[in-house]
Amino acid sequence: METSRQDIGEGEKEVKTGRTPPSASEDVSSEALGHAVPQVKEKRKGKAEGANSTEEGASTSNLHNRGDLSTITVGGVTLQGVSVGGQETCIIIPSMKVAFDVGRCPQRAVFQDNVLISHAHMDHIGGVCLQAATRGLFSLKPPRIVVPKVIVPGVENLFNAFRALDNAELEHKLIGLEIGEELRLSGELFVKPFRTYHVVPSQGYVVYSRRQKLKKEFVGLPGPEIGRLRKSGVEITDVEEVPEVAFTGDTTAEFLTDPGNADVLRAKLLIMEMTFIDDSSTVEHARKWGHTHIDEVVPLAHLFQNEAILFIHFSARYRRKDILEAIERLPPGFREKVTPLLERF
Ligand SMILES: [Zn+2]
Ligand SMILES: [Zn+2]
């Protein structure tokens, strides 16, 4: 009997146990299900990057490309991602060396130095040990894995269990961050967690850039004059912190009205969960399972100051067509900002 993806929709899964075992249908490709294959502006990577040899004589170029993700550019940010509610979420931004969540560890996620985990549901953290293991295999430096502070002991246990089973080192640096705590990523980039509202401990992340910016009073002065001022000890720059990308992980729409989350709504690109997009599910159902329903977001559309918004984590019950129709129904002015992540739909 054919199993449709509808049978493993996020809400249904969580009703029973909070998480259920993987279904055979998860491996069914969209082609096999008769769906259109995403036609986004995409580039398939020909081979893995950073081909390093390993002691086993393997090289990273041996990573097979099956299941490689499309590359898309949204709000000026180039990323790869997959996100199907209850199945798998991982959003990869190579320019920031970041993977947000790692449900199953897609190939490109292996090459990101920083893994920022929103919460410990399997579809968001399931690939975390594999990511560390594969980096070890290819002699890449141990990843930094950032998680909500409260789940640090659980994640340590997870790694210890795999270490015992696998007899591998699984080198990594586990960092528990609390809301508002800051961690430098690389160069001028740093990250801070923000509050989200899910059914287990959770947090989102804002990645900021920090730049020196010429103070207003000196703008327009000739270069030599600015140089002279600097040499004479005058402070000529201000530090500017710009929220570049925000990622929510799973949450109800409540994060939008949290006064502590202003930067989330100012980030150039907001990557937000949008599990339920039509009246096949109610707002109450979405809230009960800690998810966002589109009907709650539309009345708040005026809050978004983001240049671009990427909707992710659609329930597996939906087809590509349903998602595109839902985007089409968004009010003008908001609709233009929104891109749906259609990988696997
Ligand atoms: Zn999820
Ligand atoms: Zn979740």
- 49-91 pLDDT, tens digit per residue, is 333 433 333 444 555 444 689 999 999 999 999 999 999 999 9
> What separation in Å is there between the alpha carbon of 95 and the centre of ligand 1?
25
271, 262 in Cβ contact below 8 A? no
Q: What is the DSSP letter of 221?
A: -
Which ligand lies nearest to the CA atom of residue 10 in the structure?
1
> What separation in Å is there between the alpha carbon of 226 and the centre of ligand 1?
51
Share of the chain above pLDDT 90, in %: 74
Q: What is the pLDDT of residue 11?
A: 46
Q: What is the pLDDT of residue 67?
A: 60
Rounded distance, CA 270 to CA 177, Å?
A: 20
Burial 90-115 (b: 16+ CB within 10 A, else e): bbbbeebbbbbbbbbbbbbbbbbbbb
Which ligand lies nearest to the CA atom of residue 9 in the structure?
1
Rounded distance, CA 131 to CA 243, Å?
A: 27
> What separation in Å is there between the alpha carbon of 127 and the centre of ligand 2?
15
Rounded distance, CA 162 to CA 130, Å?
A: 10
Rounded distance, CA 210 to CA 241, Å?
A: 4
> What separation in Å is there between the alpha carbon of 313 and the centre of ligand 1?
7
Which ligand lies nearest to the CA atom of residue 274 in the structure?
1
- 274-300 pLDDT, tens digit per residue, is 999 999 999 999 999 999 999 999 999
Q: What is the pLDDT of residue 212?
A: 87
Task: Please count the CA atoms within 13 angstroms of the CA of 48 that sit on its side-chain side.
Answer: 24
Rounded distance, CA 296 to CA 197, Å?
A: 14
> What separation in Å is there between the alpha carbon of 202 and the centre of ligand 2?
8
Which ligand lies nearest to the CA atom of residue 119 in the structure?
2
Residues in the chain: 345
What domains can you pick out in the chain, each with its CATH number? Answer: 71-210+243-340 (3.60.15.10)
Burial 296-328 (b: 16+ CB within 10 A, else e): bbeeebeebebebbbbbbbbbbbbbebbeebbe
pTM, entire model = 0.81
Token pair in block for residue 259: 């006064």
Which ligand lies nearest to the CA atom of residue 87 in the structure?
1
> What separation in Å is there between the alpha carbon of 251 and the centre of ligand 1?
9
> What separation in Å is there between the alpha carbon of 207 and the centre of ligand 1?
21
> What separation in Å is there between the alpha carbon of 102 and the centre of ligand 1?
11
Whether the per-residue pLDDT at 8 is higher than 90: the answer is no
Which ligand lies nearest to the CA atom of residue 196 in the structure?
2
> What separation in Å is there between the alpha carbon of 157 and the centre of ligand 2?
20
> What separation in Å is there between the alpha carbon of 129 and the centre of ligand 1?
18
- 127-180 pLDDT, tens digit per residue, is 999 999 999 999 999 999 999 999 999 999 999 999 999 899 999 999 999 999
Read off the pLDDT band of 48 (50, 70, 90).
very low
> What separation in Å is there between the alpha carbon of 7 and the centre of ligand 1?
16
Share of the chain above pLDDT 70, in %: 81
> What separation in Å is there between the alpha carbon of 250 and the centre of ligand 2?
5
119, 273 in Cβ contact below 8 A? no
139, 52 in Cβ contact below 8 A? yes
2, 24 in Cβ contact below 8 A? no
